[in-house]
Amino acid sequence: MRAIQEQNAFIMEARELNRLIETLAEKGYETIGPTVQQGAILYGHVGSAGDLPAGWSDQQGPGTYRVSENGDSSFFGYVVGPNSGKSFLHPSRETLMQASRKGDLLEFVDDPAPPERYALIGLRPCDVKAIEIQDRVLLEGLYVDRKYKERRDLLFIVTVNCAKPGGTCFCTSMGSGPAADSGYDLALTELNDDRGHRFLVEVGSDSGSELVAALTTKQATAADIDSAGRQADDAAEAISKSIDTTGLREQLYDSLDSPYWEKIGARCLACTNCTMVCPTCFCTNVQDVSDLAGNSAERIQIWDSCFNAEFSGLHGGSVRQSIHSRYRQWMTHKLASWEDQFDTLGCVGCGRCITWCPVGIDITEEANTIRKRAGQLAGTVEDAP
Ligand code: SF4
Ligand code: SF4
């Protein structure tokens, strides 16, 4: 069972969640949390606990996502929606610079907007891990993404541990859930049982400690801690998908010429959905756009995807003309070369790429198949597709 430090665990009644949101807003944070929008659970502005998706859950499978009301009073009874912390810290469209015509002169503004001070409330543990992975990419390499850093420095994270995993989750394979072990200011476990509707609160930072001091809480009992630990164990056991990552990096590198990539490529539409919803994918393009009159222009950074042909465009054309070569690039980056670059895998097992793939391509199945075929070639596995 997960070890929870007793002296660091508090109990907060469910009604106090509203006060938590209000206190963060009073401290100057823009409070972001899960909301029901456009037939999905999406992170957006939350002004009070009434904006949270109490009584809603989601059903997910390869190429399938539905939300429905379940009559439960739990605030966090869903899994994950299509967006994540990435939408706020590393948004899909970022203005880098603006220029406008002033008479015969051009005026340049290179930092049009001050950084947002976000409190992300209800992020799942896999999404907290995804932020830690993006930190390595955008903060710890040779080049620091200034806008990401400004927002990241101001960020407050309230994670909520998972009670019921979805049909496409595999965080246990990636060491990123179902309970958070780092990277948060506060970690909540929602307990809604015969002893009442309440949250077990774990503190992960000084800012988290300050916030708890402003709320009405009491020390958690051994029974509360036991309930939270059992909830995490039950959630871990309920996860049905997995990838065995032992030696996977080498097997992927050994399989670059496998004809199996073509089988995946024949199904893949190169729609880019998997990279757009992925909380760790970070690639961007930079474009200059101007108004029709030529009076103002801006330089924008927008998300890009390795599934776009132009993404690998060099002199003479795209390096990855075939769709299967783009899928191979994506999966091999996530599960192999990311480790060489950033000393971590590029996947947290959130399952979004499986859920939001219109043809239901499943990274766990494809990675396991590549593994099996590599084992078959090496004579350690008898049967592989
Ligand atoms: S590759 Fe898929 S499962 Fe892994 S983090 Fe990205 S969206 Fe989630
Ligand atoms: S794997 Fe699926 S989501 Fe990703 S580009 Fe191909 S069809 Fe789109």
Distance CA 151, CA 88 (A): 9
86 and 214 co-located in one domain? yes
Residue 146: inside a domain, yes or no? Answer: yes
Residue 289: inside a domain, yes or no? Answer: yes
pLDDT in tens, the chain (385 residues): 677 887 889 999 999 999 999 999 999 999 999 999 999 999 999 999 999 999 999 999 999 999 999 989 999 999 999 999 999 999 999 999 999 999 999 999 887 788 999 999 999 999 999 999 999 999 998 899 999 999 999 999 999 999 999 999 999 999 999 999 999 999 999 999 999 999 999 999 999 999 999 999 999 999 999 999 999 999 999 999 999 999 999 999 999 999 999 999 999 999 999 999 999 999 999 999 999 998 999 999 999 999 999 999 998 899 999 999 999 999 999 999 999 999 999 999 999 999 999 999 999 999 999 988 887 666 665 565 6
Residue 379, pLDDT score: 61
258 and 337 co-located in one domain? yes
Amino acid at 18: N
- Burial classification of residue 375, based on how many CB atoms lie within 10 Å of its CB (0-12 exposed, 13-18 middle, 19 or more buried): middle
Residue 271: inside a domain, yes or no? Answer: yes
Q: Counting atoms of ligand 2 from 1, which one is nearest the CA of 307? A: 5
Residue 382: inside a domain, yes or no? Answer: no
Gap from CA of 106 to ligand 1 centroid (Å): 43
Q: Which two tokens stand for residue 290?
A: 């101007």
- Element spanning 122, H or E: strand 118-123
CA angle 284, 290, 292 (to 5 degrees): 145
Domain boundary among the residues 204, 238, 272 is at 238
Gap from CA of 327 to ligand 2 centroid (Å): 8
Q: Counting atoms of ligand 2 from 1, which one is nearest the CA of 267? A: 7
Residue 216: inside a domain, yes or no? Answer: yes
Distance CA 274, CA 169 (A): 14
Domain count, the chain: 2
Distance CA 135, CA 346 (A): 12
Residue 51, pLDDT score: 98
Ligand with minimal distance to 359 CA: 2
Distance CA 144, CA 268 (A): 33
Residue 134, pLDDT score: 98
78 and 22 co-located in one domain? yes
45 and 89 co-located in one domain? yes
Sign of CA dihedral 333, 157, 175, 373: negative
- Alpha helices per DSSP H over 122-244: 125-138, 146-154, 171-174, 206-213, 222-238
Residue 360: inside a domain, yes or no? Answer: yes
**346 backbone dihedrals φ, ψ, rounded to 5°:** -100, 20
103 and 216 co-located in one domain? yes
Contact 297, 290 (CB under 8 A): yes
Gap from CA of 271 to ligand 2 centroid (Å): 5
Residue whose structure tokens are 């859950």: 57
Gap from CA of 267 to ligand 2 centroid (Å): 8
Distance CA 32, CA 21 (A): 9
- Cβ < 6 Å from ligand 2: which residues? 268-274, 307, 357-359, 361
For 357, what's the count of Cα atoms within 13 Å in the CB-facing half-sphere? 22
Residues with Cβ within 8 Å of 97's Cβ and at least 6 positions away in sequence, in order, are 108, 109, 110, 112, 298, 299
78 secondary structure, DSSP code: S
Buried/exposed 148-173: b ≥16 CB within 10 Å, e otherwise: bebbbeebbbbbbbbbbbbbbbbbbb
Residue 254, pLDDT score: 94
12 and 142 co-located in one domain? yes
Q: Could you list the residue range(s) of the whole structural domain that residue 186 is in?
A: 6-238
Considering all CA atoms of the chain, what is the largest pairwise distance in Å, rounded to the nearest integer?
A: 75
Residue 288: inside a domain, yes or no? Answer: yes
Domain boundary among the residues 194, 209, 238 is at 238
Contact 330, 306 (CB under 8 A): yes
Residue 378, pLDDT score: 61
Ligand 1 atom 8: residue of nearest CA: 350
191 and 259 co-located in one domain? no
131 and 34 co-located in one domain? yes
Residue 377, pLDDT score: 61
CA 27 to chain centre: 25
203 and 317 co-located in one domain? no
Amino acid at 321: Q
273 and 157 co-located in one domain? no
Ligand with minimal distance to 82 CA: 1
51 and 193 co-located in one domain? yes
Domain boundary among the residues 192, 218, 238 is at 238
Residue 385: inside a domain, yes or no? Answer: no
222 and 261 co-located in one domain? no
Gap from CA of 263 to ligand 2 centroid (Å): 13
Distance CA 99, CA 367 (A): 47
